[in-house]
A and B are shown apart, each in its own frame.
Chain A
């Protein structure tokens, strides 16, 4: 039985890659991809612990999260579309008008 720490490290790695993606990328679409990574990292954790505790809830919940990710992407792309319309560019660093 593979010790659970490996899975956790794997999910932490995937999570940090996602975070790095958000922090550096300037294209809104790539933002969404990075967010996907974050969610999948969480899924790895869920399944790992479900297997670890022998409890099905974890896996079902990861299913739930996958669906949620899909919903999130739908909305995300909608927003990116509007972003493009208003700022003619999906560059995140352009849309800086929402501030004091």
Chain B
């Protein structure tokens, strides 16, 4: 019986793809036949894949080696030395967990879209639902990919879908340019990722995540090579030692991750991606696509755990991004912008977690964040419906009474985001910070990252509750806020579901409670991530980070004290942030306190001028260089070609002068010619 769900595994991704085809083809040729503009097939497909995912989740937990791995050969390399390329499915604890997250959020977003798109009378719905269908299909295929090349391929397809969906309202100026920017920035990251993929294939001969009968997993090969009993020898390039070359490969793959998960240098596209419809932001730019980067690092954590410098780099980028984005979120006016920067910051935490050796912590935060961030975006969506698509928080206020369901769901999401105790955000963020703190005690770089992460907690608490108070509390500041446009069941149902999830998922892995109160066995997620095959299990990763990255857990005083200390500090900071926001903004007539920041505000408001810098890079540098290259090409190279023709023309015009038309001249030329020839032959022939 356990085998059945595995045969059906490809259907998880196939169902949304079918809904994509239905929406595309029926939408193009017989739009009237399509129920609700393509929403129904989408909803059915995502519901189907959710069920299959849950079934796979159960099957994996039941199966012997804790995973299901099946692959087919995409391209067989002829000859003996060449490597084959594969497509395959790998269902193990991590991927099934992610499958459930993705399909659940996709289902809820499809339902929400009924309210957000259909009821608002949007045109081109088949194209919208086709885009969503294709996105869900590629995201699910990315999640259960079994090798790095297949992961990269769907990584790019997901980027395409985000381009399609951000640019959905292509008739205005904004969305197409935002879509282009999103695709280009992520493409820049994917360039490094592709180099990494090719490097991995060239170095190890395979890019499998997990070994099978005739093929080893590349993280495992790397581990053996670094451990010295290199049964398998790998070809390094450019004269690097294996350790250094693996670090290069790790950093290259990290390029793609930083691009897709909007980490520090390549984060500018995410706030602009808010041009797309809000359900799209919820699905793609909160829960799933942006998580692809972090998921990828988690997927090949066996490889990253061997590279201390790369781990430290990841931690530092994560910590810095967390603080960097949180500070920018504080001054934003639109509700979706605040959430966008909060997403960047939260993914910074996950990277911090991964960098600090907290594989389980990061996955936990990935899980909780997916739910409460999707909830917050959908909540913002329902507020936007109410405010007739006006996203400016300073025009809202007092929506609490009018929209209770949205308010309470939004509040639960905000509490989770800020990391207040019972809510899921606290448990996952605290564990990330705990791991960073504990490992930070032994390596200063991690401590720096931890400090930044900790500081960001305060800002997170501040901007979250500033958003809540501005939108829901105080007096309605505009008449649309006074009697907002009602929202249907298809908006409230997803909000309710996610609201409960945001509150509850924390229970899955309450590690501090287990440590302090000694209640054994309540860290279910930890056990779950250990249930998989040995080489992919969490404890194996911790041994790797311990042996290769020399991460050792330090303590202050006793172990319990450190847990209490870190949990207390992070909770305190979160409460302080929330309190500050409460003090400043929970007043009938909130005033723009951030103006008091003066010049700092303008810097923060302009996102540290990162946007301008990158736009300048594109417009100010690449375009002029291209124009110069074109001028050079037309002028010099084409000039040489045209020059050659003009030389022959000029030569022709000079030589034709000889033809004067007078017969005597010709006779004269004849005679001189004869004389010259005679003399020449004479000399040659020796007549003289």
CA distance A98 to B666 in the complex (A): 12
B667/A100 in contact, CB under 8 A: no
A19-B671, A23-B668, A23-B671 known; A97 vs B663 contact (CB < 8 Å): no
Separation in Å of the A79 CB from the closest CB of chain B? Answer: 11
B661/A92 in contact, CB under 8 A: no
Decide if B214 is an interface residue (CB 8 Å cutoff). no
0/1 per residue, B224-256, Cβ < 8 Å to A? 000000000000000000000000000000000
Decide if B660 is an interface residue (CB 8 Å cutoff). yes
B664/A99 in contact, CB under 8 A: no
Decide if B659 is an interface residue (CB 8 Å cutoff). yes
CA distance A24 to B665 in the complex (A): 10
Separation in Å of the B91 CB from the closest CB of chain A? Answer: 84
Decide if A96 is an interface residue (CB 8 Å cutoff). yes
Decide if B626 is an interface residue (CB 8 Å cutoff). no
Separation in Å of the B261 CB from the closest CB of chain A? Answer: 74
Within 8 A of B (CB), among A28-73: 31
CA distance A26 to B663 in the complex (A): 9
Separation in Å of the B81 CB from the closest CB of chain A? Answer: 67
Number of A-B residue pairs, CB cutoff 8 Å, is 28
CA distance A12 to B659 in the complex (A): 29
Decide if A86 is an interface residue (CB 8 Å cutoff). no
A92/B668 in contact, CB under 8 A: no
B662/A92 in contact, CB under 8 A: yes
Q: For A97, list chain B residues within 8 Å (CB).
A: 661
Separation in Å of the A77 CB from the closest CB of chain B? Answer: 16
Within 8 A of A (CB), among B644-668: 656, 659-664, 667-668
CA distance A93 to B668 in the complex (A): 13
Separation in Å of the B661 CB from the closest CB of chain A? Answer: 3
CA distance A96 to B668 in the complex (A): 16
Decide if A8 is an interface residue (CB 8 Å cutoff). no
Separation in Å of the A57 CB from the closest CB of chain B? Answer: 25
B667/A99 in contact, CB under 8 A: no
Decide if A22 is an interface residue (CB 8 Å cutoff). yes
A22-B667, A23-B667 known; A93 vs B662 contact (CB < 8 Å): yes
**B-side interface size class:** 10 to 19
Q: How many residues of chain A get a CB closer than 8 Å to chain B's CBs?
A: 14
0/1 per residue, A1-35, Cβ < 8 Å to B? 00000000000000000010011101000010000
A99/B659 in contact, CB under 8 A: yes
Q: For A31, list chain B residues within 8 Å (CB).
A: 663
B662/A96 in contact, CB under 8 A: yes
CA distance A98 to B663 in the complex (A): 10
CA distance A40 to B614 in the complex (A): 93
CA distance A88 to B471 in the complex (A): 107
Q: For B661, list chain A residues within 8 Å (CB).
A: 95-99
Q: For A96, list chain B residues within 8 Å (CB).
A: 660-662
Q: For A99, list chain B residues within 8 Å (CB).
A: 659-661
CA distance A100 to B659 in the complex (A): 7
B662/A22 in contact, CB under 8 A: no
Q: For B660, list chain A residues within 8 Å (CB).
A: 96, 99
Separation in Å of the B677 CB from the closest CB of chain A? Answer: 15
A93/B664 in contact, CB under 8 A: yes
Separation in Å of the B672 CB from the closest CB of chain A? Answer: 10
B664/A92 in contact, CB under 8 A: yes
CA distance A24 to B668 in the complex (A): 9
CA distance A23 to B663 in the complex (A): 9
CA distance A95 to B664 in the complex (A): 11
CA distance A29 to B314 in the complex (A): 103
CA distance A92 to B664 in the complex (A): 8
CA distance A97 to B660 in the complex (A): 9
Q: With CB as the reference atom, state the residue of chain A lying closest to B657.
A: A100
Q: With CB as the reference atom, state the residue of chain B lying closest to A96.
A: B661
Q: With CB as the reference atom, state the residue of chain B lying closest to A34.
A: B667
Q: With CB as the reference atom, state the residue of chain B lying closest to A97.
A: B661
Separation in Å of the B676 CB from the closest CB of chain A? Answer: 15
CA distance A96 to B664 in the complex (A): 11
Q: With CB as the reference atom, state the residue of chain B lying closest to A26.
A: B664
CA distance A97 to B662 in the complex (A): 9
Q: For B667, list chain A residues within 8 Å (CB).
A: 19, 22-23
Separation in Å of the A39 CB from the closest CB of chain B? Answer: 15
Separation in Å of the B653 CB from the closest CB of chain A? Answer: 9
CA distance A96 to B656 in the complex (A): 14
Q: With CB as the reference atom, state the residue of chain A lying closest to B667.
A: A22
Q: For A23, list chain B residues within 8 Å (CB).
A: 664, 667-668, 671
CA distance A43 to B668 in the complex (A): 23
Q: For B664, list chain A residues within 8 Å (CB).
A: 22-24, 26, 92-93
28 contacts between A and B (CB under 8 A): A19-B667, A19-B671, A22-B664, A22-B667, A23-B664, A23-B667, A23-B668, A23-B671, A24-B664, A26-B664, A31-B663, A92-B662, A92-B663, A92-B664, A93-B662, A93-B664, A95-B661, A95-B663, A96-B660, A96-B661, A96-B662, A97-B661, A98-B661, A99-B659, A99-B660, A99-B661, A100-B656, A100-B659
| A residues adjacent to B (C-beta < 8 A) | 19, 22-24, 26, 31, 92-93, 95-100
The 8 A-B residue pairs whose C-beta atoms are closest, nearest first, are A96-B661, A99-B661, A99-B659, A100-B656, A22-B667, A92-B663, A93-B662, A23-B668
| Known interface pairs A92-B662, A100-B659; 12 further A-B residue pairs with C-beta atoms within 8 A, sorted by A's residue number | A19-B667, A22-B664, A23-B668, A23-B671, A24-B664, A26-B664, A31-B663, A93-B662, A93-B664, A96-B660, A96-B662, A100-B656
